[in-house]
Structure 1
Amino acid sequence: MDKRALSAAFGAAVAAVLAVTASASATASAGEVLTTGSSGGPAVAAGDVLSASLVSGTKARIATTQGGSTGITCGNSAFTATVDGNPAAPGTATETVTAHTLGSCTTNILGATGVQSITVNNLPFAAAVTSGGSLTVTAGAAGPIQTTLKISTILGTTTCVYRASSLTATPSNTDNSLTFTDQRFTKYSGPGTCPASGWFSAKYGPVLDTSQAGSPVVFVN
């Protein structure tokens, strides 16, 4: 074999080794859709409980118009979810949202003097987290996604009930957060003083696996 043929054969062998190595590395790093500590880290186990509060320095908002500044602002909010399934990535992990709370709320809606309570009804909800970065919340067996607002007004207490067919959020591995932006609720019941729609926005993080020692942060792969 001449030098050029030997060089070509050697180059082909090196390329083959590199290709196999890269393939094995990709397979090894794929991991599950939800991992803790890092992308491709230990898998979140079925049955684990995930939780998060508002990102420090942020507030949850329910605006009366999309992107508007009039509505309700809450200084406290948190959610809890249980992981039902966590397949290999790429794929879709499934969760059950068991709790979602909002508190320390104020309002600048005309005629309203305060917010007595905001209650998320019909829990638990179903949730699906897909590789590539999206989370979708849908109704569970108890009924549609529903929120009841009790607002103090100059004429007394007003109760407004809102419903949504689904909610979509965007996960981020940069700060292990989950962001809802202008998710629309429509009025289901309440007097004419209740706004026709409520647009929900909030950023939660870091999302933690509280079932594991040290409550590590959760990544979406």
Structure 2
Amino acid sequence: MHQRALLATVGLAVAATLATATQAGASGSVLTTGSSSGPSVAVGDVLTASLVSGTKARIATTQGGTSGITCSSSGFSATVTGNPAAPGTATETLTAHTLSTCTTNITGATGVQSITVNNLPYNTAVTSGGSLSVTAGSAGPIQTTLKIGTILGPITCVYRATGLTAAPSNTDNSLTFTDQLFTKASGPGTCPANGYFSAKYGPVVDTTQGGAAVFVN
């Protein structure tokens, strides 16, 4: 009886160990590569993305409006600073965000000379369930400087946002910003009062891991 009891105890212990290991392996991380059950994105990995093919980034003067600036080239780069087990929140540092090859149909504007994203890096947080937020870093507020040509000469318009949100998708490994509000911080009266930023980036890839697609869990 003693031997049977001992064997039963050992069997239960092994079963419990296997169950714990299975649960730990199944939990995964918030960010993985290749698939939702793929390898975890490592802290320090660099994630990048450009505009989804066939799409453009827009800065509209009104929410959902057609007047504003359209850019055919845009991309970002971020470094992962934390990637816990899912469900949870992964963190990144947004180190670069560019917009170029831009045109405008704003009344009185003759062209877009440049768009510069200021005060990088920004802080980003990606939560399980599908949401991403961008907040200001130590360098200053989220800010973008637009240099626009007008019929009266070039003008400089500076816009700021209190924060940005985006929706990740594992269907195409994309990240979508929709009508993110920027308000004018400085510039002449010919600068629009607001700018609403929309863009879809993808696929988001882990360049440190050879360009593997990134999934949010």
Equivalent AA in structure 2 for residue 97 of structure 1: L
Deviation at 1:46, TM superposition (A): 0.2
Q: Specify the alignment match of 1:200 in structure 2.
A: 197
Counting only pairs closer than 5 Å after superposition, residues 11-90 of structure 1 correspond to structure 2 as 27-90=24-87
How far 1:215 sits from its partner (Å)?
1.0
Match of residue 172 from structure 2: 175
Shift of 1:30: 2.2
Residues 109-148 of structure 1: matches in 2 within 5 Å? 109-148=106-145
Q: Say which SS state the counterpart of residue 192 (structure 1) adopts.
A: coil
Aligned length: 202
Task: Give per-residue Cα distances to partners, 1:183-208, cap 9 Å, x unaligned.
Answer: 00000000011010000000000000
AA of the residue aligned to 2:42: A
Distance of 2:47 and 2:135 partners within structure 1: 17
Residue matched to 2:214: 218
**TM-score between both structures, scaled by the size of structure 1:** 0.88
SS state of the match for residue 156, structure 1? Answer: coil
Q: Distance in 1 between matches of 2:19 and 2:52?
A: 37
Unpaired segments of 5 or more residues in structure 1? 1-16
Q: How many angstroms apart in 2 are the aligned matches of 1:205 and 1:68?
A: 24
Using the aligned pairs only, state the percent identity.
78
Secondary structure of the residue that 2:154 maps to in structure 1?
strand
- Match for 1:153: what amino acid? T
Query: Could you tell me which amino acid in structure 1 is paired with residue 206 of structure 2?
Result: D
Structure 1 residue 29: deviation in Å? 2.6
Which moves more between the two structures, 23-32 or 87-96? 23-32
- RMSD of aligned residue pairs (Cα, Å): 1.7
Find the residue that maps to 1:28 and give its secondary structure: helix
User: Aligned AA for 1:220?
Assistant: V
1:91, distance to aligned residue in structure 2 (A): 0.2
- Could you tell me how far apart the structure 1 residues matched to 2:162 and 2:173 are? 26
Amino acid at match of 1:106: T
The 2-side partners of 1:208 and 1:116 are apart by 30
Displacement, 1:28? 3.0
Paired with 1:157 and 1:100, the residues of 2 have a C-alpha distance of 23
Structure-1 separation of matches of 2:168 and 2:90: 13
Q: Which residue of 1 aligns with 2:98?
A: 101
Cα distance in 2 for partners of 1:128, 1:90 equals 13
